């Protein structure tokens, strides 16, 4: 008779646990888990920032595609959270990888994603994002007020 | 002071395409109305700019990084008329002269929290009781408080101090 443990179903292994530590697959899983575990709050640091920093600085050539894939395959709350965290990272590599992603986010139907995109402009203030925000016609009144303030602040 | 204010994330309070127009999405409650000991934290204020800036100051001095802030302002009477209890409690802020401005709505049940949620949703959606302060405005408020001696620069987070240093090169132009 076989020992009982031989008949057990092998424990399920998440794909991220099979990949080497620090790989984009691991970082993606940890990023999504961190955003699920802890809500983002204005002014407060979030664990997702460090994971994004590690992914982008550690894999600069794959970073934009990696980010685009995560954003396109997740819902608006996750998209908004990732954008807000990206805006908090001021490394040139992060800006290079995510500037176009932030610019595209202005056309999101979700008000939270558009707010995070405006927040990225506020944090980075790059000429191309300022121009994208100038072109953006925001229909939600409170978000339009925020966008106007950001453009005013960045015009100094 | 006849009003109370609280920091919110307004996008969570927007109507949802998959819910009735007047409904409040669950994310608003789970994301913006976190209670402790069945109490929800607010700051007493009026609806004028100076009073609201004090609420921003009370909250932003705890920030780990400079960022925008959204406040929702509710009438105290609306809370009391709904059967809710408000207690004056010491606020967790490093600005001494604002500690007495803290209020807790206490003894909250799930039903009571839903009452508050409906009041907040009404203000955010009507855009009357919702105020947005940009990152630069938040920094200007902190900078003014430091200059007035209400707040020590050393008490602020490192990234906030860095933001204030960068901002000090630009003239404040806060007008709200």
Asked if this assembly's ipTM is beyond 0.85, the reply is yes
Other Cβ atoms within 10 Å of B90 Cβ, number: 9
Q: Is residue A6 part of a domain?
A: no
According to the model, what pLDDT value does residue B46 have? Answer: 93
Spatial distance between the Cα atoms of A19 and B88, rounded to a whole number of angstroms: 53
According to the model, what pLDDT value does residue A17 have? Answer: 47
* Contacting residues for A101 by C-beta, under 8 A, at least 6 apart: A64, A67, A68, A71, A83, A86
B39 phi, psi to nearest 5 deg = -130, 150
pTM for this structure? 0.89
A21-30, A115-124, B53-62: which range is least confident on average? A21-30
pLDDT in tens, A43-59: 999 999 999 999 999 99
pLDDT in tens, A122-146: 999 999 999 999 999 999 999 999 9
Alpha helices in chain A (DSSP H): 4-7, 15-18, 24-37, 47-58, 63-72, 76-87, 92-105, 111-124, 127-135, 141-154
Q: For every one of its 176 residues, what pLDDT tens digit does chain B have, with 9 covering 90 and above?
A: 999 999 999 999 999 999 999 999 999 999 999 999 999 999 999 988 999 999 999 999 999 999 999 999 999 999 999 999 999 999 889 999 999 999 999 999 999 999 999 999 999 999 889 999 999 999 999 999 999 999 999 999 999 999 999 887 765 454 43
Token pair 């894999």 in the structure block, residue:
A59
According to the model, what pLDDT value does residue A156 have? Answer: 54
Which A residues 62-101 touch B at CB under 8 Å?
A: 77, 80, 88
Domain boundaries, chain B: 3-167
Residue A2 in this model has a pLDDT that exceeds 50: no
| Number of domains chain A contains | 1
CB-nearest partner of B68 from A122, A141, A152: A122
Q: Which of B41, B126, B130, B132 has the highest number of chain A CBs within 10 A, making it the mutation to test binding with A?
A: B132
Spatial distance between the Cα atoms of A102 and A106, rounded to a whole number of angstroms: 7
Residue A18 in this model has a pLDDT that exceeds 90: no
Spatial distance between the Cα atoms of B101 and B92, rounded to a whole number of angstroms: 10
- Residue A153's Cβ-count burial label (10 Å; 0-12, 13-18, 19+) is buried
CATH of the domain at A148: 1.25.10
Segments forming the whole domain that contains residue A98: 15-154
Task: Give the pair of three-digit tokens for residue B147.
Answer: 């200059």
Question: CB–CB of B127 and A42 under 8 A?
Answer: no
Q: Is residue A2 part of a domain?
A: no
- For chain B, give the DSSP string: --EEEEE--GGGGS--TTS-TT---HHHHHHH---BTTBEEEEEE-SSHHHHHHHHHHHHTT-SS---EEEEEEEHHHHHHTT-EEEE---S-S-GGGGGGEEEEES--HHHHHHHHHHHHHHHHHTSSEEEE-HHHHHHHHHHHHHTTSS-GGGS-HHHHHHHHHHTTS------
- From A52's Cα to the closest Cα of chain B, the distance in A is 17
According to the model, what pLDDT value does residue B73 have? Answer: 97
According to the model, what pLDDT value does residue B170 have? Answer: 61
């Amino acid at each position: 008779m076989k020992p009982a443990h031989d008949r057990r179903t092998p424990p399920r292994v998440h794909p991220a646990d099979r990949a080497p530590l620090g790989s984009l697959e691991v970082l993606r899983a940890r990023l999504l888990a961190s955003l699920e575990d802890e809500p983002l709050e204005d002014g407060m640091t979030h664990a997702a920032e460090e994971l994004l920093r590690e992914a982008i600085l550690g894999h600069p050539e794959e970073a934009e595609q990696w980010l685009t894939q995560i954003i396109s395959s997740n819902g608006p709350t996750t998209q908004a959270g990732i954008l807000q965290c990206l805006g908090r990272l001021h490394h040139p590599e992060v800006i290079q990888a995510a500037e176009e992603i932030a610019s595209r986010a202005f056309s999101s139907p979700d008000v939270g994603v558009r707010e995070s995109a405006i927040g990225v402009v506020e944090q980075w203030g790059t000429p191309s994002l300022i121009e994208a925000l100038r072109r953006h016609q925001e229909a939600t009144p409170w978000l339009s007020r925020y966008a106007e303030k950001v453009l005013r602040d960045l015009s100094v | 002071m006849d009003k109370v204010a609280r920091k919110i994330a307004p996008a969570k309070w927007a109507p949802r395409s998959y819910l009735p127009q007047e409904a409040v999405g669950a994310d608003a409650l789970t994301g913006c109305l976190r209670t402790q000991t069945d109490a929800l934290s607010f700051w007493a204020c009026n609806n004028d700019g100076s009073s609201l800036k004090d609420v921003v100051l009370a909250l932003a001095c705890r920030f780990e990084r400079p960022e925008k802030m959204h406040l929702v302002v509710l009438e105290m009477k609306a809370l009391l008329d709904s059967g809710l209890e408000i207690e004056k409690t010491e606020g967790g802020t490093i600005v001494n002269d604002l500690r007495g401005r803290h209020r807790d709505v206490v003894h909250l049940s799930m039903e009571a929290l839903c009452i508050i949620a409906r009041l907040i949703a009404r203000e955010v959606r009507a855009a009357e009781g919702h105020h947005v302060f940009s990152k630069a405005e938040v920094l200007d408020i902190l900078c003014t408080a430091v200059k007035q001696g209400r707040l020590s620069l050393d008490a602020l987070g490192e990234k906030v101090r860095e933001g204030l240093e960068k901002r000090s090169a630009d003239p404040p132009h806060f007008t709200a």
